[in-house]
Structure 1
Amino acid sequence: MSLFDRTEFEALVHGLPGTSIADQWDARVAKVGDKVFTLLTDAERRICFKVSEESFEILTALSGVAQAPYFAKRKWVTIDPGSELDDAEVAEYIRRSHALVATGLTKKLRAELGIAV
């Protein structure tokens, strides 16, 4: 299986604390505390997620990875199924995106969602 498969994508996301999934923008959108941290597009089967500034520079230099349309200025990337990254690497970046976005939540909300404060 592949993270670009809806079932596998959802299984990974649901394994992260305080997450929810919604259909939005022609995609499966994963949120933590109502803030988006990753999405899987319906048509192209691309995965988008937020990264650190350093990771943004490194990842966008790889084949099959690009700045995410409409999100690039906030350091989001989009990954094609044929990218240089394997599923384990993509999964790790999704976990990091979850953590990065969760740090922007209040301590109270993180505690309510079961995210280590």
Structure 2
Amino acid sequence: MTRDEFDAFCKKLPATTHVIQWGNASVWKVGGKIFAICSGWGEGDFPRFSFKCSDISYSLLTQQEGMIPAPYLARAKWVQMEEEGALSDADLKAYIEAAHKIIAAKLTRKQQKELGLAG
């Protein structure tokens, strides 16, 4: 997945916002809270995708080749894809969608309702 594909996918998720932070990282939020990041600073540098995940997914993914605990965010159960192809695009999208849901579920009911995330 390219950075542009990552941004296009995240943009389609409900109630998301996007900022460029920490140099040139593409940061995606829901309700002001981050759920996924694409970093990669050098020209031609492979984009590194980081995302929030469940406890079980964190345990499984950090044992997988090409996946590491995300720097600075591992204590909050975030992982980073360190090697291109460590996850298929379909799997990466599924994990990003799950990250969005995990973060959205942590918002207050009022926030969820205001963002159209709750009925």
Paired with 2:12 and 2:115, the residues of 1 have a C-alpha distance of 13
| Partner AA of 2:27 in structure 1 | V
Q: 2:8 matched to which residue of 1? A: 11
Q: 2:55 matched to which residue of 1? A: 53
Q: 1:24 matched to which residue of 2? A: 21
Paired with 2:98 and 2:50, the residues of 1 have a C-alpha distance of 13
Cα RMSD after superposing both structures: 1.3
Paired with 2:83 and 2:26, the residues of 1 have a C-alpha distance of 16
| Partner AA of 1:22 in structure 2 | V
Match of 2:40 among 22, 39, 42: 42
Provide structure 1 residue ranges, at least 5 long, that are not aligned to the other structure. Answer: none
Shift of 1:113: 1.1
Moved over 4 A (4+): none
Provide structure 2 residue ranges, at least 5 long, that are not aligned to the other structure. Answer: none
Match of 1:112 among 106, 111, 114: 114
Alignment length (residue pairs): 114
- How high is the sequence identity, in percent, across the aligned residues? 39
Confirm or deny that 1:66 pairs with 2:68. yes
Shift of 1:84: 3.0
Confirm or deny that 1:95 pairs with 2:93. no
| Partner AA of 2:28 in structure 1 | A
Give the alignment's TM-score, normalised by structure 2: 0.90
| Partner AA of 2:50 in structure 1 | C
Give the alignment's TM-score, normalised by structure 1: 0.91
Shift of 1:116: 3.1
Paired with 1:111 and 1:81, the residues of 2 have a C-alpha distance of 38
Question: Does the CA-based 8 Å contact 1:28-1:42 persist in structure 2?
Answer: no
| Partner AA of 2:103 in structure 1 | V
